[in-house]
DNA sequence: ACAAGTCTTGAGAACGCTCTCAAGATCAGT
DNA sequence: ACTGATCTTGAGAGCGTTCTCAAGACTTGT
């Protein structure tokens, strides 16, 4: 006789332990004012029965849903998605987010939102109504999407914006783009470079501006000029090709390029190859993001590591810690690091320049 | 006066439309036996009020949770994870899964399970109790994990196993590994190769066996021997290096290698380089998986494309279509394709062999 | 026109949990 | 001991939905 496995409810535990529902609930939620003996008795019953509270029921009665919603970009079609360059953004995000959520008894759900859609508000609104998440994590390019932040603010759902330095509504978490760019630039300067170009990201992203600032600050501190050494791309491969060509055309004496994305750096690498410039012998290259692909290029790229998992993890913690009334905005920085590989080296000797420094 | 935005419930809609809760519920769920006029009236109210049913409440009362749980592998720590080779497995999975789920009014949740943990049963059991998913999707290496499949079977939760050909319990979805390997081998044979080696995956995976079968079948059909042309790896880079070296040592006249993972193919590429073999001129290479990284190697690799997104999408559809009593097991194949890039070409001319065929 | 169905609608219980509030038990201060 | 405060426990309502079941409206066949 195959007994149908009935779900173990809080009621079963209460009966087993000989206490009221309420007491079990208190034990489960770590509520105060429960005598140790009671607590132990209930805990024993919970273990014996293998009780786990139903998320849905918790949401129904309580004020929390124990759900954090992560909003990601969605490309239009499967084909487009496949054609993308490989980043492990989502992998990273999930790892950081899911683990941290589960540590706090929360769950993470992922929503794919199409930037170009004009139903964004309706779609997202529906999701929010259905899920009623306790917090939302916005990832680029949605982190600074006014429509979305306004919607969340209106519904009073706490949210974190990843990769945004703008001190707008919600919690902003960033890798400290100014500092990261400064770090990359300083690294090159320490190697002896003095003509260091920057391929920045699109200006709509405030982080692009910050990276430019960091680069300029390091250059200025070393007494180096940065005129004509800046190009703007859109993070994509083609734009990187264009930018690298323009940079090299304008500055034949260029010895290093910092690219604001792995894809643009890879493009710059290809441009160097097509011009017969050896990397890193003739040209040093540093990229931003440190997605897995840059470890398999020839040569592997030195890169600023974007600590996505950790950033998302921090975001989750903030969201959970603050709770429903966490309306205090904040900007949090998670330090980025420089991963040295084989695309950076001392610059080539130049006529009239000593090996040890600049003229 | 800032009105606190109250959630719109089915009751609000009922009042607005002047009908009972039940009628609204019927309209929402497309139930039968509702007069068209009623239906329209209710629909109008729903739109006006922007009503969306609460997932949690639906789960509470109904028999379904509208949740599909996807179980993925988790590396032990963040550090390990970062050190991994970049695949976009999770990205792909999410895309296929989430979109298909939302088309059917479902939601996908992701659970990270550590293969090496001995708490698997407890952890997974807790998740199942908390979420009560309507279906579960197992991805490698969990697809053939007896502990997990037994647990799911016991709880009578329908599940799909991705990347498993074994006709065990649940729905098995595979890319048709035998056919895919046959396809790759045939492609090389058509180019004129006759010494085609295979670096297979670990034998614990039934798909490894199938790929070997496909390769042998194609070789046999062309009257080619396959002795000493097989090596087994573990899908990882290092094992690929070992296998490629062994293969090349044993068979100096080798002209093509099929590797059962991108990572092993990349390793083979590096081995070829270290031995002065030009790819594809001296050695042709085909990999399995077609993760983004193989497009950025030198040269970009010809690869068997693993249609992950589509497979997961199919899995979701199956799970939803079959419903809670979908106990009929099945094996479903989603055809893989060959993506031609620059790592395959005609074999080099050999003394005593005409350009048009074998001796 | 009447019985026997079939459609359409609604009332009320139930799902598993947390919240609010009240009652009894325990404790401190006199 | 006695009063008032604090701890501990439990009873009962309520969350938003679907389920079951019954009642009324409408068919159909004769």
Q: Dump the DSSP string for A285-315.
A: EEEEE--GGGGSSSSPPEEEE--HHHHHHHH
B-chain residues near A126 (CB < 8 A): 52
List Cα–Cα distances, B141 to B25, B75, B134, B206, B233, in angstroms: 41, 12, 22, 11, 15
Three-class DSSP category at A257: strand
Q: Say if residue A57's pLDDT is above 70.
A: yes
Question: Is residue A322 exposed (0-12), middle (13-18) or buried (19+ Cβ within 10 Å)?
Answer: middle
CA atoms within 13 A on the CB side of A111: 27
Strands (DSSP E) contained in chain A are 67-73, 107-113, 135-138, 159-162, 171-174, 196-200, 230-232, 256-259, 284-289, 302-305, 330-333, 337-339
Residue A326, pLDDT > 70, answer: no
| Ramachandran area for residue B159 (φ above 0: left; ψ -120 to 50: alpha; else beta) | beta
Stronger pLDDT, B254 or A89, i.e. the higher one:
B254
pLDDT at B62 over 90: no
Query: Does residue B353 surpass a pLDDT of 80?
Result: no
Domains of chain B (ranges plus CATH)?
Answer: 10-53 (1.10.260.40), 67-175+308-336 (3.40.50.2300), 177-305 (3.40.50.2300)
Task: Classify residue A348 by its DSSP letter.
Answer: P
Token digits of residue A12:
């079963």
What's residue A306's pLDDT? Answer: 85
The Cα A36–Cα A42 span in angstroms is 10
Q: List the single best residue of A51, A89, A95, A108 to mutate versus B (max B Cβ within 10 A).
A: A95
Average pLDDT over residues A232-255: 94
| Residue with the larger pLDDT of the pair A11 and B32 | A11
User: How confident is residue A86, by pLDDT bands cut at 50, 70 and 90?
Assistant: low
Q: What is the pLDDT of residue B237?
A: 85
- Check residue B3 and give its pLDDT: 42
pLDDT at B49 over 80: yes
Using a cut of 0.75, tell me whether the model's pTM lies above it.
yes
**R_g of chain A, CA atoms, integer Å:** 26
Is it the case that residue A237 has pLDDT exceeding 90? Answer: no
8 Å CB contact of A293 and B292: yes
* Residue among A359, A343, A353, A193 at smallest CA distance from A268: A343
CB under 8 Å to A346, separation ≥6 — which residues?
A191, A192
C-alpha to C-alpha distances, A95 to A308, A316, B77, B104, nearest whole angstrom = 9, 12, 9, 26
The mean pLDDT of B97-125, rounded to a whole number, is 89
Residue closest to B239 by CA, chosen among B271, B205, B277: B271
Taking the C-alpha atoms of residue B199 and residue B325, their distance in angstroms, rounded to an integer, is 41
Of B92, B108, B296, the CB nearest to A296: B296
Q: What is residue A352's predicted lDDT score, i.e. its pLDDT?
A: 56
Selection from A112, A114, A120 nearest residue A146 by Cα: A120
- pLDDT confidence bin for A354, thresholds 50/70/90: low
Residues A117-175 pLDDT 10s: 778 888 999 999 999 999 999 988 888 888 999 999 999 999 999 988 777 789 999 98
**Residue partners of B252: CB distance under 8 A and separation at least 6:** none
Confidence of residue B195 (pLDDT cuts 50, 70, 90): very high
The Cα–Cα gap between B204 and B234 comes to 10
Which residue, among A297, A83, A309, A270, has the nearest Cα to B88 in the 3D structure? A83
In chain A, pLDDT over 90 holds for what percent of residues? 64
Secondary structure of residue B221 in the 3-state scheme: helix
The mean pLDDT value for B131-148 works out to 90
- Report which DSSP code applies to A248: H
Res. A39: pLDDT tops 60? yes
Sheet holding B159-162, edge to edge: A330-333, A171-174, A159-162, A135-138, A67-73, A107-113, B107-113, B67-73, B135-138, B159-162, B171-174, B330-333
**B21: Cβ under 7 Å from strand D?**
yes
Does B86 sit within 8 Å of A129, measured CB to CB?
A: no
**Predicted pLDDT of residue A82:** 44
> Which band of pLDDT confidence, cut at 50, 70 and 90, is reported for residue A5?
low
> Which chain A residues are within 8 Å of B293, Cβ to Cβ?
86, 292-293, 296
User: In the prediction, which pLDDT does A232 show?
Assistant: 97
| A23-CA/D5-C1' distance, Å | 23
Is the distance from CB of B167 to CB of B138 less than 8 angstroms? no
In this structure, what DSSP letter does residue B351 have?
T
Rounded Cα–Cα distance for residues B171 and B40 (Å): 39
């Amino acid at each position: 006789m195959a007994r149908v496995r009935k779900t173990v409810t809080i009621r079963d535990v209460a009966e087993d332990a000989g206490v009221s529902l309420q007491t079990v609930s208190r034990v489960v939620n770590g509520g105060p004012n429960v005598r140790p003996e009671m607590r132990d008795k209930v805990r024993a019953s919970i273990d014996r029965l293998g009780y786990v509270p139903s998320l849905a029921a918790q949401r129904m009665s309580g004020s929390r849903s124990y759900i954090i919603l992560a909003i990601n970009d969605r490309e239009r079609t499967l084909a487009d998605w496949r054609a993308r360059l490989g980043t492990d953004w989502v992998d990273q995000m999930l790892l950081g987010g899911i683990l941290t959520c589960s540590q706090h008894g929360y769950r993470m759900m992922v929503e794919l939102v199409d930037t170009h859609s004009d139903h964004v508000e309706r779609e997202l609104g529906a999701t929010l109504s259905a899920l009623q998440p306790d917090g939302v994590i916005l990832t680029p390019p949605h982190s600074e999407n006014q429509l979305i932040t306004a919607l969340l603010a209106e519904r009073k759902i706490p949210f974190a914006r990843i990769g945004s330095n703008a001190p707008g509504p919600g919690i902003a978490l960033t890798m400290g783009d100014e500092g990261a760019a400064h770090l990359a630039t300083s690294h090159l300067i320490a190697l002896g470079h003095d003509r260091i170009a920057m391929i920045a990201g699109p200006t709509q992203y405030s982080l692009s501006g910050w990276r430019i600032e960091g680069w300029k600050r390091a250059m200025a501190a070393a007494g180096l000029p940065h005129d004509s050494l800046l190009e703007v791309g859109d993070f994509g491969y083609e734009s990187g090709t264009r930018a690298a060509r323009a940079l090299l055309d304008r500055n034949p004496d260029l010895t290093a390029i910092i690219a604001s994305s792995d894809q643009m750096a890879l493009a710059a690498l290809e441009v160097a190859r097509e011009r017969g410039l050896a990397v890193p012998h003739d040209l040093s290259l540093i990229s931003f993001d440190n997605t897995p692909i840059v470890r398999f290029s020839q040569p592997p790229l030195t890169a600023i590591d974007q600590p996505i998992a950790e950033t998302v993890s921090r975001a989750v913690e903030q969201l959970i810690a603050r709770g429903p009334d966490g309306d205090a905005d904040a900007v949090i920085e998670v330090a980025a690091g420089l991963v040295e590989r084989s695309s950076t080296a001392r610059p080539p000797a130049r006529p009239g320049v000593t090996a040890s420094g600049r003229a």
